[in-house]
Structure 1
Amino acid sequence: MPDPDDLTARARIRQAALAQFAEVGFQKATIRSIAAEAGVSPGLLRHHFGSKEALRDAVDAYVMDEIRRANDEVSEASRTGDFASTVDREALRPFQRYLARGLLDGSPTVATMFDQMAAMTTQWIAAADETRTDRPRTDHRTRGALYTAMVLGVPLLHEHLSRVLGIDVLSADGDRRVALAMLDIYSHALISTELAEQARAALYPEPP
C-alpha cells in the first residue's frame, strides 16, 4: 500500500511544477527550484517523476483531467438547469496561467491539450445545433476549434486585456467580470441572421 506521505509529496511536487511552469516557463523552471517550492529534495522529485519532462507530462495530464471534470460539471448543470453548485472558477485559475504560458512558449504538449479542448467544445456546439432553427453553414469541428481559440485568447492576452479593463483578468474580480461579459456575448447575437446572410452573400457569393 502506498505511503500517504509519499502521495502527499507527489501532489505537492505536481502543484509546485504547475505554478513554476506557469510563472517562468518550462525551460527556465528547474528541478531544484520546483523541489524547493514543494518542500522536498530534488532526489525525491526524481524518485516520483524521473525527469522534468516526465513531470511536465504529469502536470499536463492533471490539467486536462481538471478541465474535463469542469466541462462535465457544466454540461450536467446545463442539462439539469442547476448552476448553483457548478465549477469552482477560483480552482481553475492556475490552469489558465499554465495554458497561457504554454501557448506563449510554443509548448508541443499544449498542441495536444488544445486538440482535446477543441473536441470538447465541438460536442457543445453539436448539442446546441440540435435546437437551432437556422441551418449552420460551417461544420461543428471548425466552429469548435475557433471557439476554443477565442476562449484561450483571454489568458494568452491577459496582460493587454487587463490593461484595457483596468483590472487583472486572472484575479478573482477580473475573472468574474470576464465571465459575466462572456455570458452576455454568448447569450445575445451580435448581428441578426438576416444581416449575417447579407454579409455572407457579399463576401462569398455563390458561384453562377
Structure 2
Amino acid sequence: MATTQPDPEDLTARARIRDAALLQFGEHGFERATIREIAKAAGVSSGLVRHHFGSKQELREACDEFMYRTVRKLSDQARAGLVHGAFGDLNHLAAARAVLLPYQKYLARALADGTAAALFDQMVDITEEWLARADEKRAGDPPAASRKARATVLTAMAMAVPVLHQHVSRSIGADMFTPEGDREVAYALIDLYSHALITPDDAATARDALDTVWSKQPPADRDAVIRAFEEQNDD
C-alpha cells in the first residue's frame, strides 16, 4: 500500500506547540489557557511560543487552520475511498475518529464560545461537497431545501455532539472523549445515518402540512394560538 510522507511541520517545535495549545484550549478554554502553560506542555520556552505564533490569538487561529486541514485531508481521502500511511488497513471512518478524538474538547470549546465561525463555515463547505455527490443518486426525489441549508444544518447537528459532551457522556454511560465512549457515539451515528427516521411519503406529508401553516397569517394573539392547539388536541 502506498504511504504518504508526514507533514514537515509536524516534526517541528511549532507543531508541538500547536498540539499543546489544542489540548490546553480544549481543557481550560481560550481565556484561561496561558502561553506559559502551553509552553510547559510543549516542552519549550514561552519565548519560543511567541516567536512562532506572535500572540495567543494567532496561536488559536493556527489551531483552527490545523483542524480544518486535518478534516479536509480526511474528507478527501474518504471520498477517494482510500486512507494511506499510518492508518494501515483502517477504513476512513475509523481513521478520522482516531485522528480527531484528542481534539474534540477543542472543537466543543471553540463552537460553544462562538470563536470557530471560520472553521464552521469551512466544515459546511466540505459537507456541501458530500451532499453534491449524494444528490446525484436522488433522481425523482429532489431535495426540498438548498444544499447550503442542508449542509449547514447537518454540520450543526454533527458538531453539536461534542458541544453537548457532558450530557452525551452521562446519557450513554461513558465519557465520549475516551475510546470507549467515542466508539458508542460512532456506532450510534452510523446507525442513524444508515436508517431513515421517516419515509419519503412521510416527509412529503410533513412538508405539505408546514406549507399549509405558513401560508396562513398567524393570529396576533398568542393565547388564541394556544387555545386553538389545545382544542384540536381535545377532539
Find 1:169's aligned residue among 172, 176, 186.
176
16 and 128 in structure 1: CA distance in 2 versus 1, 3 angstrom threshold: same
Find 2:113's aligned residue among 102, 105, 110.
105
Q: Following the alignment from structure 1 to structure 2, what is the Cα–Cα distance between the partners of residues 174 and 94?
A: 13
- Residues 3-82 of structure 1 mapped to structure 2, 5 A cutoff: 8-77=12-81
**Contact 2:172/2:184 (CA < 8 Å) preserved in 1?**
no
TM-score, length basis structure 2: 0.79
Matched, 1:94 2:102: yes
- Residues 98-137 of structure 1 mapped to structure 2, 5 A cutoff: 98-107=106-115, 110-133=116-139, 134-137=141-144
Which one has the largest radius of gyration? 2
CA shift at 1:207, angstroms? 5.7
- Residues 145-164 of structure 1 mapped to structure 2, 5 A cutoff: 145-164=152-171
Residue ranges of structure 1 left out of the alignment (5+ in a row): none
Residue correspondences, number: 199
88 and 196 in structure 1: CA distance in 2 versus 1, 3 angstrom threshold: closer
Quick one: which amino acid aligns to residue 21 of structure 1? F
Q: 1:15-59 deviations in whole A, cap 9, x for unaligned?
A: 111110111111111111111111111111111111111111111
- Indicate the RMSD between aligned Cα atoms, in angstroms: 2.2
Counterpart position of 1:178: 185
Quick one: which amino acid aligns to residue 106 of structure 1? G
Give identity over the alignment, percent: 50
Question: Deviating runs (4+, > 6 A) in structure 1?
Answer: none
189 and 39 in structure 1: CA distance in 2 versus 1, 3 angstrom threshold: same
Residue ranges of structure 2 left out of the alignment (5+ in a row): 1-7, 83-88, 217-235
Matched, 1:141 2:148: yes
Q: Following the alignment from structure 1 to structure 2, what is the Cα–Cα distance between the partners of residues 207 and 9?
A: 60
Which segment is superposed worse, 126-135 or 85-94?
Answer: 85-94
